[in-house]
Amino acid sequence: MLGERKKICCGCGNDKDNSIFLAHEKMLGMGGAFEYLNCAACKSIQIVDIPDHMDVYYPENYYAFGNLIKSKGLRNQFKKIRKTLFDWKLWFFSYPEYYNWLSPLKISKDAAIADIGCGNGQLLYELSCTGYTNLHGFDPYLKKETSTKGLKLQRKGLYEVSGQFNLIMLNHSFEHMVNPLESMKKLSELLKPKGQLLIRVPVTDAEVWEKEGINWFQLDAPRHFFIPSQLSMRILGEKVGLKLNLVVFDSNENQFVITNLYKDGKNMKEYNSTNLINQKFIKNWKQKADILNETGKGDQACFYFKNNG
Applying CB under 5 A, among 7, 14, 192, 267 the residue interacting with Zn ion is: 14
DSSP string, 192-216: EEEEEEEEEEE-TT-HHHHHHGGG-
Q: What DSSP character marks residue 299?
A: S
Residue 11: CB minimum distance to Zn ion, A: 4
Residue 200: CB minimum distance to Zn ion, A: 20
Applying CB under 5 A, among 11, 117, 222, 237 the residue interacting with Zn ion is: 11
Phi/psi of residue 256, nearest 5 degrees: -95, -45
Please say which residue, 40 or 68, places its beta carbon nearer to Zn ion: 40
Residue 286: CB minimum distance to Zn ion, A: 32
Please say which residue, 43 or 82, places its beta carbon nearer to Zn ion: 43
Applying CB under 5 A, among 8, 12, 123, 124 the residue interacting with Zn ion is: 12
Q: How far apart are CA 67 and CA 130, in angstroms?
A: 20
In angstroms, the Cα distances linking 297 to 3, 35, 229, 251 are: 33, 25, 11, 9
Q: Which range binds Zn ion by CB under 5 A, 4-12, 67-75, 186-194, 243-251?
A: 4-12
Residue 9: CB minimum distance to Zn ion, A: 3
Contacts of 172 (CB under 8 A, 6+ apart): 117, 200, 201, 202, 300
Helical residues (DSSP H) of 41-154, grouped into ranges: 73-87, 98-102, 122-129
Applying CB under 5 A, among 8, 9, 161, 227 the residue interacting with Zn ion is: 9
Residue 188: CB minimum distance to Zn ion, A: 20
Q: How far apart are CA 235 and CA 68, in angstroms?
A: 36
- Residue 8 binding Zn ion, by CB under 5 A: no
Size of the site for Zn ion (CB under 5 A): 7
- Residue 236 binding Zn ion, by CB under 5 A: no
Map residues 33-62 to x or -, x wherever contact with Zn ion holds by CB under 5 A. Answer: ------x-xx--------------------
In angstroms, the Cα distances linking 1 to 4, 6, 8, 38 are: 9, 10, 14, 16
In 3D space, the residue among 303, 48, 302 whose CA is nearest the CA of residue 178 turns out to be 48
- Antiparallel, parallel or unpaired: β 300-307 and 226-227: unpaired
- Residue 201 binding Zn ion, by CB under 5 A: no
Please say which residue, 142 or 231, places its beta carbon nearer to Zn ion: 231
Please say which residue, 41 or 142, places its beta carbon nearer to Zn ion: 41
Please say which residue, 14 or 260, places its beta carbon nearer to Zn ion: 14
In angstroms, the Cα distances linking 53 to 22, 62, 87, 166, 305 are: 19, 16, 45, 35, 33
By CB under 5 A, name the binding residues for Zn ion.
9, 11-12, 14, 39, 41-42
